[in-house]
Amino acid sequence: MLGNSCPSEFTLHPNGSSCVLQCPTAKNYEMTSSGSMVSCTHTADKTISVQLMPVPMYPYFENIFGARRYDDRAYSPNLTYKMLPNKQVYQNEVDRFASAIAIADEKISRNDKLNTAFRSMQDAENARDTAPDAYQTARVAYYTLLKGDTWIEEEKNRVANAEAQPIINTFLDKYKSLQYTRSRQQAVIDSMNNVKQSVLGVKDDLDFSVSNFQRHLEDIKNQINKDKRDQDIQLAKATSWIEVLLNWLIVLASLIAIFFLGRYLMRSKPGEAPSDSDIMSYLRRSAYGSRTTTPTRR
């Protein structure tokens, strides 16, 4: 009689028409179903499950009469899949399930590690005030296990943005303020330089004008001094002629006075000497043109 059986590594699917691998109960997995899908689910963590893929059952003949064929194994139920002609179909499912269950086991191991790391972080957080370094170490260990090795770089960026960036922004603001102040100061300096150049230009023009004015003034003073010297020379010349003239007049007047005095003396009587008043009176009359020649006696 013809019958169907599952290999010894497999068990009957709930639908009764195919086979699925047996769940590893030693690792706390049990078979669960959701509609037509069958999975091995971890008893402690229901989120960890591995789907079971159905494989065909293999036929066998029941040996009722004790007849034996050339290969009795072909007619026995629950043989290992390795003895079946289509063993590769079962081998593929065995390999797939082994990879999937290894990943699930790693998840369970990771979850256990995560739970342990989380509890350590909680304990360290309770003692954060007294041991801040221990809390940071536990926190890094937990989140690195939870999010992977890339978390530490993300954390550095987060800390940089949350803590360092405000400081950087403060320095940037100060730098911008200094740049603005510097630009304003430079503008003031440029303006002062322009004013300085203008003042220097005016100063140069003024110096040139003052120099020309002083030169003209010196020329005028020199001309005045020259004219003064010429005038002094002319005056000295004129004065010398006047002095000569006066001297000649004085000499001439003296000669005239001597002449009239001698004349008067010659007209006096012998033995009579004229008085001083008579002489002076005679000279006055002579000077004013009097015709009287006889002296007046007193």
Q: Hey, where are the domains in the chain?
A: 2-111, 268-298
Q: Is 83 helix (H, G, I), strand (E, B) or coil?
A: helix
What pLDDT was estimated at residue 67? 46
Q: Which of 73, 99, 103 is nearest to 87 (CA)?
A: 73
pTM, to two decimals: 0.41
Both tokens assigned to 151? 């978390």
What pLDDT was estimated at residue 298? 44
Residue 193: pLDDT over 90: no
Please tell me the least confidently modeled range out of 17-21, 44-48, 225-229: 225-229
How many Å apart are CA 49 and CA 29, to the nearest integer? 8
What pLDDT was estimated at residue 215? 80
Which whole number is the average pLDDT over 133-160?
A: 80
The interaxial angle of helices 132-147 and 150-159, nearest 10 deg, is 130
Q: Is 20 helix (H, G, I), strand (E, B) or coil?
A: strand
Query: What's the pLDDT band for 39 if we cut at 50, 70, 90?
Result: very high
What pLDDT was estimated at residue 282? 65
How many Å apart are CA 58 and CA 5, to the nearest integer? 6
Residue 176: pLDDT over 80: yes
Name every residue whose Cβ is closer than 8 Å to that of residue 113 and which is 6 or more positions away in sequence.
145
Residues 119/59, Cβ–Cβ less than 8 Å: no
